[in-house]
Amino acid sequence: MSTGSRAWIKPLIALAVIAGIGFTAYQSLNKHQAAPAVTFLGIKGEKITPESLKGKVFMVNFWATSCTTCVAEMPDMVKTYDKYKGQGLEYVAVAMQYDAPNYVVNFTETRKLPFKVALDVSGEAAKAWGDVKMTPTVFVVDKDGNIIKRYLGKVDFPSLHALLEKNLKS
């Protein structure tokens, strides 16, 4: 076989390598990360375990009483929870390590927050969820335990509601 008749092999190999890289990149971008198996400590001393959230669509909201965006959007979080809890939505509002527990309890009671509120006194929960430092940071987790969306900063509620409706139906 002459070298001219094999000239197509190198471009074909290069094309196959490029296609493989592209497929791998596509797969990794469309693969959802599993939610960390973290047990949260509720403000009343109760444990909110991964087992108690298993098989449910749930949200984890890292927030602080000193965060103006967190405080401003909390009424919309309450409305979202009230709207979807009957369809099985669970919600855990996790106060950051630097937030004083008595402030969190006072905020929860005065605003009559209807969902689970937890304290991250050691900072371990924030670390486990991707080393969260910015508030609010909200994660949406599907029934299979995969993180399907992360919101940094102010939440886009129409898109959040569409995402919840899609995942609560499945």
- Confidence label for 154 from pLDDT (cuts 50, 70 and 90): very high
* Amino acid 3: pLDDT: 54
Domain boundaries, the chain: 1-31, 34-169
Read off the pLDDT of residues 56-112 as tens digits, 9 standing for 90 and up: 999 999 999 999 999 999 999 999 999 999 999 999 999 999 999 999 999 999 999
Full-model pTM:
0.81
Which pLDDT score is estimated for 16?
Answer: 52
Task: Select from 3.10.20.30, 3.60.21.10, 3.40.30.10, 3.30.720.210 the CATH code of 34-169.
Answer: 3.40.30.10
Tell me the per-residue pLDDT of 5-39, one tens digit each, with 9 for 90 and over: 676 666 656 555 565 554 444 444 446 799 999 99
One-character DSSP codes across the chain: --GGGGTTHHHHHHHHHHHHHHHHHHHHHTPPEEPP---EEETTS-EE-HHHHTTS-EEEEEE-TT-HHHHHHHHHHHHHHHHHGGGT-EEEEEE-TTS-HHHHHHHHHHTT--SEEEE-TTSHHHHHTT---SSSEEEEE-TTSEEEEEEESS--HHHHHHHHHHHHH-
